[in-house]
Structure 1
Amino acid sequence: MNFVASATTAVVTLLGVMLGGWLTTRNQKILWQRDHARQWRDIRLSTYNDFVSAYRQYVAFALDSNANISASPHPRKPDEMMPYFDEVGRPYREKLEATIMAVRLVSARRETADVAKELVDSARRIAAARATKTEQDIPTEFFDKMWQAQLKFLISARQELELSNLWPPSDQ
């Protein structure tokens, strides 16, 4: 009987240790997953912030009356023009190109990357139009499309980052 009691105590102790180890491992995995998700959320938020900043700087440069911009037909889209900046504007274009690639790299949802690309395309249209027009003569619909793309990007990014919806649905 002494042997049975000792064996039972040993088995119960072993099961307790195994259960405790399993619970610790499970809790550590949950904490790691939460921390990992938080880190990626911070990375995405920073990337999206950099992208919006680069896009706004690009558009501001394109609308500057001193900006030297030229345009030529897009090599793959016959109905579109490609803007080209001088050495003063080149950093704005390069920063926008780098940040759109970063958005594509870190986006968890394809929709976010797609609407970011739409926003870049609309900014390029404005820059290409600015090559032959003054900032006042750029068609209003170019700006309307850019503002719509900007709103779609903000909504998509907020959904991806699981931020609350601050704006009521619009009737557009």
Structure 2
Amino acid sequence: MDVVSTLVTAVAALIGVLVGGWITIRNQDRQWQREHARQWRDIRLSTYTEFVSAYREYVAFALEPTANIMVRQHPRVPELMPFFDGAGRPYKERLEAAMASMRLVCESDASKLAASRVVSAVRQIAAARSTTSADAVDPALFAELYAAQYDFINTARAEVGLTALTSNPLLTGESSLNGFPSSSEAREVAGQENVAPGHRTPAQ
């Protein structure tokens, strides 16, 4: 009986050690997964924030009276391609770098498509500025940007675990032309308000 009792005690102790080790490993694995998810959430949030800043400053520069922009027809899609001089090149390069970073960290195809739509919209605003003043840019181009931005923000919020916006704050309330925001409203949204022309520099 003593042998059996000793054996049972040893087996019970061994099972306890195994169960305790399994629980510890499982808890560590869960902790690692949570930390991994948190790190990727922070990376995505930082990348998306940089992308938003890049395209807003791109639009703000394009609306500057001193902006010198030329356009060419895109070789593959039916839209115009804006080209900047030395003053505007940093904004273009920052936007393209931010978009490339977006493609690296996007979790969903919806975010990639929404970001591409935003880039297309801001480029068309810049292209329009090549032949007209900021106040004469077609408000429909800004409406397209606001709609694209709204879609992008919601897809980005979904990726970082936030609930979707229920309405587009940029398109609510009174607007100046048949539901479209005016160019002055667009400049305010783009971060242009109260900034003297010729004094903007891209954020580092």
TM category, shorter: over 0.9
Corresponding residue for residue 200 of structure 2: none
Corresponding residue for residue 9 of structure 1: 9
In structure 1, the gaps of 5 or more residues are none
Q: CA deviation at 1:155?
A: 1.2
Q: CA deviation at 1:164?
A: 2.8
Q: Does 1:52 align with 2:57?
A: no
CA distance in 2, matches of 1:162, 1:34: 13
User: How many residues matched?
Assistant: 170
Q: TM-score scaled to structure 1, two decimals?
A: 0.94
- Structure 1 segments, 4+ long, off by >6 Å, are none
Corresponding residue for residue 31 of structure 1: 31
Q: CA deviation at 1:160?
A: 1.5
Q: Which has the higher helix share?
A: 1
Corresponding residue for residue 67 of structure 1: 67
The DSSP-based 3-state class of the residue aligned with 1:82 is strand
Q: CA deviation at 1:169?
A: 4.7
CA displacement, residues 49-98 of structure 1 (integer Å, 9 cap, x when unaligned)? 00000010000011111011110110111x21100001111110010001
Letter matched to residue 119 of structure 1: V
CA distance in 1, matches of 2:54, 2:44: 15
Q: 153-162 vs 111-120, which deviates more?
A: 153-162
CA displacement, residues 125-168 of structure 1 (integer Å, 9 cap, x when unaligned)? 01111111111221111111011001111111111111134x43
CA distance in 1, matches of 2:86, 2:138: 26
CA distance in 1, matches of 2:74, 2:64: 23
Corresponding residue for residue 118 of structure 1: 117
CA distance in 2, matches of 1:131, 1:169: 32
**Alignment RMSD:** 1.5
In structure 2, the gaps of 5 or more residues are 173-204
Corresponding residue for residue 168 of structure 1: 166
Letter matched to residue 168 of structure 1: T
Letter matched to residue 138 of structure 1: V
What is the 5 A alignment of 1:72-91?
Answer: 72-77=72-77, 79-91=78-90
Q: CA deviation at 1:3?
A: 1.4
CA displacement, residues 25-48 of structure 1 (integer Å, 9 cap, x when unaligned)? 000000110111111111111111
CA distance in 1, matches of 2:57, 2:144: 18
CA distance in 1, matches of 2:57, 2:105: 22
CA distance in 1, matches of 2:59, 2:67: 11
CA distance in 2, matches of 1:84, 1:169: 34
Q: TM-score scaled to structure 2, two decimals?
A: 0.80
